[in-house]
């Protein structure tokens, strides 16, 4: 539109969180993307719509976005994966409800600070179908709200990033009545990560990267549940991740990490047909991961 | 209100107030970057050196060009001219005193145009510059 504002239409990734727009394996530490940005912010989250992006000439470093996208489908929500399976991602988009998404992004003194939000309907049905399932119909019927704030710092080989997010589904009880998928009212999650490029110790302007990093994540996928929901401490998870990221050249990365996962006790009421020889559930587990990634 | 709630809400309020104050103060102290609106003549843009009075960087805007140019004054005789177009997917860049940033995919560049953060892998396009009689000339071709 001009040198400060542009418009994106079609299938695009809204500016929500860190990973959604910036998801190539060479841009984050660890083999797995942050779990908070997998289960709470369902990155990579593409939707059909239109979005205005711009930057301010009055305040250096301030960027913004405001978009209108196709909504979610609460009928596809799967227990334990948040709203992830409710994404249309362009395929078979019903356009029977819509969502608004917006962000403020500010660059200052090697910091990148962002806040973003999403509010949209999730009935994903025609009026007749929604009425028969007693779901709220309309542009924002059966709403889902996601709010998020994050901060990143990069300078002199040191990097830091942190993110906190919350998903609210105010009519989760109606979704449970319609689909019995144990949808929660609220889900929360946050993580913090620090890393340092060890090669920076030997050469300040190195183009190679050998980052030692550590990350802690906490998420609760049934932070608040409706009256007809069933709580499960299994969905309260924390992850402690440590590892190395090596980039011999730009666009290529070799990763090694260890993930220590802790969860709550599973609710036996949710095991409908218990298997007599079922193995015991361990609340803590460790995983070694090795991987190679590239971008092109 | 019990003691625990009072301490919790008090600390939350104080942290919020300090955070908001920090953000407002840093935003106020960060003046907008100067923008010079120039015209092209024979694929050249001329910019008076006096535009660098208050800042060592200057955005040059020209209606005939799709992207702005960032001039970076390294010394009295050396000025970089960087095209503010991300080398990853051609998005507009945001310039600050510390570098150039792509808000779309997170790439960043230093004030010499080198990549400091991927996904971009190539440096920014540069234009040749000359300084004569206090005038900077940027050669667009």
Across the interface, do A250 and B121 touch by the CB < 8 Å criterion? yes
Across the interface, do B96 and A53 touch by the CB < 8 Å criterion? no
Residue (of A244, A245, A241, A42) closest to A146 by Cα position:
A42
Write out the residues of chain B at the interface with chain A, using a CB-CB cutoff of 8 A.
Answer: 23, 26-27, 30-33, 35, 61, 66-68, 92, 94-98, 101, 103-106, 108, 115-119, 121
pLDDT at B83 over 50: yes
pLDDT for position B4: 67
Peptide bond into A119 cis (omega under 30): no
B33: closest chain A residue by CA = A60
pLDDT for position B52: 81
Across the interface, do A251 and B61 touch by the CB < 8 Å criterion? no
Burial class (CB in 10 A: 0-12, 13-18, 19+), B124: buried
Task: Report the domain count for chain A.
Answer: 1
**Paired residues of A150 in beta bridges:** A114, A163
Contacts of A110 in chain B (CB under 8 A): 98
A12: closest chain B residue by CA = B104
Task: Write the residue in A3, A63, A110 that is nearest to B98 by C-beta.
Answer: A110
CATH code, domain carrying A275: 2.40.160.10
pLDDT for position B25: 46
Domain ranges of chain B: 1-30, 35-139
Q: State the count of interchain CB pairs (< 8 A) between A and B.
A: 78
pLDDT for position B6: 57
Residue (of B120, B48, B39) closest to B84 by Cα position:
B120
* Cβ-contact A159, A195 below 8 angstroms: yes
Instruction: Going residue by residue through chain A, which has 296 residues, state the pLDDT in tens, using 9 for 90 and above.
Output: 788 899 999 999 999 999 999 989 999 999 999 999 999 999 989 999 999 999 988 888 999 999 999 999 999 999 999 999 989 888 778 788 899 999 999 999 899 999 999 999 998 888 898 899 999 888 898 999 999 999 999 999 999 999 999 999 999 999 999 999 999 999 999 999 999 999 999 988 888 899 999 999 999 999 999 999 999 999 999 999 999 999 999 889 999 999 999 999 999 888 888 888 888 889 999 999 999 999 87
Beta strands in A109-251 (DSSP E): 111-120, 144-155, 158-169, 186-197, 209-224, 236-247
Residue (of A157, A152, A121) closest to A138 by Cα position:
A121
Domain B35-139 sits in CATH at: 2.102.10.10
* Cβ-contact A29, A243 below 8 angstroms: yes
Across the interface, do B96 and A108 touch by the CB < 8 Å criterion? yes
ipTM score for this prediction: 0.81
Residue (of A60, A49, A169) closest to B29 by Cα position:
A60
> What would the pLDDT profile of B84-127 be if each residue is shown by its tens digit?
999 998 989 999 988 999 998 889 999 999 999 889 999 999 99
- Distance (Å, rounded) from C-alpha B94 to C-alpha B73? 18
């Amino acid at each position: 539109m001009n040198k400060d504002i542009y418009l994106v239409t079609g299938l695009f990734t809204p500016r929500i969180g860190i990973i959604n727009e910036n998801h190539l394996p060479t841009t984050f530490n660890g083999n797995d993307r942050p779990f908070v940005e997998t289960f709470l912010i369902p990155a990579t989250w593409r939707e059909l719509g239109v979005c205005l992006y711009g930057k301010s000439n009055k305040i250096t470093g301030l960027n913004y976005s405001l978009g209108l996208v196709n909504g979610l489908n609460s009928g596809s929500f799967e227990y334990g994966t948040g709203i992830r399976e409710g994404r249309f991602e362009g395929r078979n988009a019903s356009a029977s409800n819509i969502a608004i998404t917006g962000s403020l992004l500010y660059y200052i003194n090697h910091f990148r600070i962002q806040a973003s939000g999403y509010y949209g309907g999730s009935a994903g049905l025609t009026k007749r179908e929604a009425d028969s399932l007693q779901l709220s119909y309309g542009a924002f019927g059966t709403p889902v709200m996601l709010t998020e704030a994050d901060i990143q710092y990069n300078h002199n080989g040191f990097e830091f990033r942190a993110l906190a997010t919350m998903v609210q589904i105010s009519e989760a009880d109606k979704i449970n009545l319609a689909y019995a998928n144990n949808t929660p009212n609220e889900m929360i999650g946050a993580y913090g990560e620090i890393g340092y490029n060890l090669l920076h110790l030997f050469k300040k302007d190195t183009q190679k990267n050998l980052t030692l990093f550590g990350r802690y994540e906490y998420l609760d996928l049934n932070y608040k549940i409706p009256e007809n929901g069933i709580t499960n401490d299994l969905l309260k998870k924390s992850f402690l991740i440590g590892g190395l990221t090596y980039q011999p050249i730009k666009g290529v990365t070799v990763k090694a990490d260890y993930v220590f996962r802790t969860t709550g006790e599973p609710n036996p009421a949710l095991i409908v047909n218990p298997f007599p020889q079922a193995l015991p559930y361990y609340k803590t587990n460790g995983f070694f991961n090795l991987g190679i990634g590239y971008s092109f | 209100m019990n003691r625990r709630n009072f301490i919790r809400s008090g600390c939350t309020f104080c942290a919020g107030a300090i955070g908001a104050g920090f953000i407002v103060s840093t935003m106020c102290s960060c003046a907008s970057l100067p923008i010079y609106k120039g015209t092209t003549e024979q694929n050249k843009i001329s910019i008076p050196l006096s535009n660098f009075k208050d800042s060592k960087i200057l955005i040059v805007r020209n209606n005939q060009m799709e992207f702005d140019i960032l001039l970076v004054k390294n010394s009295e005789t050396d000025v970089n001219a960087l095209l503010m177009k991300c080398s990853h997917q051609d998005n507009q860049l945001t310039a600050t005193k510390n570098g150039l940033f792509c808000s779309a995919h997170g790439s960043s560049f230093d004030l010499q145009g080198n990549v400091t953060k991927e996904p971009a892998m190539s440096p920014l396009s540069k234009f040749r510059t000359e300084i004569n009689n206090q005038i900077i000339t940027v050669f667009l071709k």
